[in-house]
Amino acid sequence: MATGTEPPATEPHPRTGGVRTGTRAAIAAPHLRTDRWWLAPAATAAGLLAFVVYSTWRALANADYYAAPYVSPFYSPCLAENCEPMKAGPNWELFGSWWGISPAVIILIFPLGFRLTCYYYRKAYYRGFWASPPACAVAEPHATYTGETRFPLILQNIHRYFFYAALLVAGVLTYDTVLAFRDENYDWGHMGLGTLVFLVNIALIWAYTISCHSCRHIVGGKLKHFSKHPVRYRMWQWVGRLNARHMQLAWASLVSVAVADLYVYLVATGVFDDPRFF
């Protein structure tokens, strides 16, 4: 009987297509939304694009990334021989003299990979760039869709490895922030506006990293019985509260890392001197 819960015995309609085809209600419009649904994906795309342009320029510039005691987060740790010398700084010459291009490229792959496979950024660029979907209940312009079931998008599943790497990078950036409590002569116990910028940045980087969905899973989400693991349960709850703000933290840390880099650039190019507090 048609109203049973079984699927209809015969499927007269085509097995492909979307809202405008087959047995769906005959409505010609791809969507009927009357609000400004395009605003969010457009803003997201614009914001991400701006960061990509800026960071590409800065990462490939291979210049003006160090103004003692500050090192740009794009270039930290600096792992090639062609790095600018930084006293006690995060430069270890793991890559020899053969590395000719910007040393930022070596290290940026990790934070980039972390953000690229991040569950929030995935949503952001799938919607903003891929239009898959552009917004809820707005038809997407693709004929087929397989999501993250096959290569290359199946690689999104390695997000947790980038998370581990991101922890290391965040550790190095924390070290950089400690070093920022020196002055330009490497004397300890000083603080400038740059130190403050670095402090804010590292706080946001950590908050973003810790609020990661993979992190939430690893600290406790994978457990079946929280009651048997009270400490991990507490950690899971705590990460969960941060995780609820993952999107905000993703944007805030993206901006702060760019600002920290810009600050180093401006000081390094002599646009202004780092104002010292003490």
Partner 1 sequence: MSVVDRQEWDVVVVGAGGAGLRAAVEARERGARTAVICKSLFGKAHTVMAEGGIAAAMGNVNSGDNWQVHFRDTMRGGKFLNQWRMAELHAREAPQRVWELETWGALFDRTKDGRISQRNFGGHEYPRLAHVGDRTGLELIRTLQQKIVALQQEDFRETGDYESRLKVFQECTVTRVLKDGPRVSGVFGYERETGRFFVLQAPAVVIATGGIGKSFKVTSNSWEYTGDGHALALLAGAPLLNMEFVQFHPTGMVWPPSVKGILVTESVRGDGGVLRNSEGKRFMFDYVPDVFKDKYAESEEEGDRWYDDPDHNRRPPELLPRDEVARAINAEVKAGRGSPHGGVFLDVSTRMPADVITRRLPSMYHQFKELADVDITAEPMEVGPTCHYVMGGIAVDSDTAAARGVPGLFAAGEVAGGMHGSNRLGGNSLSDLLVFGRRAGWHAAEYAGSLADTRPRVDDVQVDTAAAEALRPFSAEGGEPAGGPPENPYTVHQELQQTMNDLVGIIRRAHEMEQALDKLAELRVRARRAGVEGHRQFNPGWHLALDLRNMLLVSECVARAALERTESRGGHTREDHAAMDRAWRNVNLLCALAEPDDALPVTEAVRGQIALTRETTEPVRPDLLALFEKEELVKYLAEEELYE
Partner 2 sequence: MSSYEARFKVWRGDVRGGALEDFRVEVNDGEVVLDIIHRLQATQAPDLAVRWNCKAGKCGSCSAEINGRPRLLCMTRMSVFERDETITVTPLRAFPVVRDLVTDVGFNYTKARQIPAFVPPEGVGPGEYRMMQEDVDRPQEFRKCIECFLCQDVCHVVRDHEENKPAFAGPRFLMRVAELDMHPLDAAEESGLDRKRTAQDEHGLGYCNITKCCTEVCPEGIRITDNALIPLKERAVDRKYDPLVWLGSKIRRRS
Q: Supply the minimum distance, in Å, between the C-beta of residue 227 and partner 1.
A: 8
Q: How buried is 56 (Cβ within 10 angstroms: 0-12 exposed, 13-18 middle, 19+ buried)?
A: exposed
Rounded-to-integer distance, Cα 202 and Cα 72, Å: 12
Stretch that binds partner 2, among 43-51, 139-147, 201-209, 258-266 (CB under 8 A): 139-147
47 binds partner 2 (CB under 8 A): no
Closest CB 110 distance from partner 2, rounded Å:
18
Instruction: State in angstroms the smallest separation of the CB of 6 from partner 1.
Output: 6
Q: Which does 229 bind (CB under 5 to 8 A by kind): partner 2, partner 1, none?
A: none
Question: Is residue 219 classed exposed, middle or buried when 0-12, 13-18 and 19+ CB atoms within 10 A define those classes?
Answer: buried
CA distance 18 to 129: 20
User: How far is residue 248's CA from residue 250's CA, in Å, rounded to a whole number?
Assistant: 5
Nearer to partner 1, 110 or 238 (CB): 238
**Does 97 sit near partner 1 (CB under 8 A)?**
no
Residue 158 binds to partner 2 (criterion: CB under 8 A): yes
In the block, tokens 């993250």 appear at 148
Residue 189, contacted partner among partner 1, partner 2, none, CB below 5-8 A by kind: none
Q: Which is nearer to partner 2, 115 or 216 (CB)?
A: 216
Q: Tell me how far apart the alpha carbons of residues 89 and 31 are, in angstroms, rounded to a whole number.
A: 55
Residue by residue, DSSP assigns 153-185 as: GGGGGGHHHHHHHHHHHHHHHHHHHHHTTB-TT
Q: Choose from partner 2, partner 1, none: what does 47 bind? Cβ within 5-8 Å by kind.
A: none
Residue 230 touching partner 1 (CB under 8 A): no
Burial of 11 (0-12, 13-18, 19+ CB in 10 A): exposed
Least Å distance, CB 4 to partner 1, is: 6
In the complex, minimum distance from the CB of residue 128 to partner 2, in angstroms, rounded to a whole number = 10
Per CB under 8 A, contacts with partner 1 among 1-40 are 1-6
Other Cβ atoms less than 10 A from the Cβ of 202: the count is 23
List the x/- string, 160-199, binding to partner 2 by CB under 8 A: x---------------------------------------
In which residue are the tokens 């994978």 written?
222
Instruction: Report the candidate in 213, 206, 216 with the shortest Cα–Cα distance to residue 237.
Output: 216
Specify the DSSP class assigned to residue 147. T
For the CB of residue 246, give the shortest distance to partner 2 in the complex, in Å.
Answer: 8
Site for partner 2 in 65-94 (CB under 8 A): none
CB 111 within 8 A of CB 166: yes
Footprint on this chain of partner 2 (rule: CB under 8 A) = 5-8, 13-19, 21-27, 31-35, 119, 122-123, 126-127, 132-133, 136-140, 142, 144-150, 153-154, 157-160, 213-214, 216-217, 221-222, 224-227, 233, 243-244
